[in-house]
Amino acid sequence: MNKIKVYGADWCEDTQRTREHLDKLSVPYEYINVDHDKSAEAWIKQQNKGKRNTPTVDFGGKILIEPTNEQVDVALKS
């Protein structure tokens, strides 16, 4: 699988849940804090029809918005 990118915010519970789940599975990923990266913030808004939904996770081209742990597991297997 290509590199996973988690676009989120430190204060976001869903972002923290997704990151903790990936850490528990020992899956490497890049975390991009959209509060500190305006181009990343613009990218997630583009993916989310103008909304700033976090986390937005890029699984090597497959984009999941606010995924559940189960959705993350499925994406990791594909």
Predicted confidence band at 78 (pLDDT cuts at 50, 70, 90)?
A: confident
Span 3-61, pLDDT tens digits: 999 999 999 999 999 999 999 999 999 999 999 999 999 999 999 999 999 999 999 99
The overall pTM is greater than 0.75: yes
Residues 14 and 51: their CA atoms lie apart, in Å, by 15
Helix axes 69-77, 13-24, angle to 10 degrees: 40
Closest CA to 56 of 42, 67, 68: 67
- Indicate the residue type of 35: D
Q: Does the pLDDT at position 2 exceed 70?
A: no
Q: Does the pLDDT at position 1 exceed 80?
A: no
Number of domains, the chain: 1
Distance set, CA 6 to CA 2, 25, 65 (Å): 13, 15, 10
Residue 2 lies in a domain: no
Domain with 34, as residue range(s), is 9-55+62-77
Residue 1 lies in a domain: no
